[in-house]
Amino acid sequence: MKYLILTFGNEFHKENNPAIKLSEELEIEGFDSMRCYDPGDLFKFQNYETIYIVEVVKDIEKVEVIKDIETLKKQRVYSMHDINIDFFVKSLKELGELKELVIIGIPLECDIEEIKKEIVEIVKR
């Protein structure tokens, strides 16, 4: 089986800093890991059995795991700036191109070393 961990973030936005730091340090044996800049890049990774997405989530205090993509916030799209990761995830799911997806939400304020340990526990289950 092929597993992929994608960390989303933009180094120019302070709120994405934890994800950026994780992408530089996260290496787990048996898992491909890379930083992703654009949610549209998800279309490139359809050959993975399981994709783990690590992303900063506002207003959480601890790591949260989301396996049901239907629980992602529904939003209206008025322009390309309104398209978030949930749009691409749901599109891939509807097209039957997404086997298994796990979103790992991390808090904005966090200890990177502790978050790394939690992520390893989550993906090794």
Domain range summary for the chain, segments of one domain joined by +: 3-123
pLDDT at 81: 36
Q: Give the per-residue pLDDT at 72.
A: 62
| pLDDT (tens place) for every residue of the chain, 125 residues total | 799 998 887 677 666 578 778 878 888 999 999 888 777 788 788 788 899 989 888 788 899 998 877 766 654 443 333 346 777 777 777 877 778 889 898 888 888 899 999 999 999 98
Name the CATH superfamily, with its identifier, for domain 3-123: HybD-like (3.40.50.1450)
- Residue 96: both structure tokens together: 């039957």
| φ, ψ dihedrals at 8, nearest 5° | -100, 140
What is the dihedral angle through the alpha carbons of 93, 71, 120, 85, rounded to the nearest 10 degrees? Answer: 60
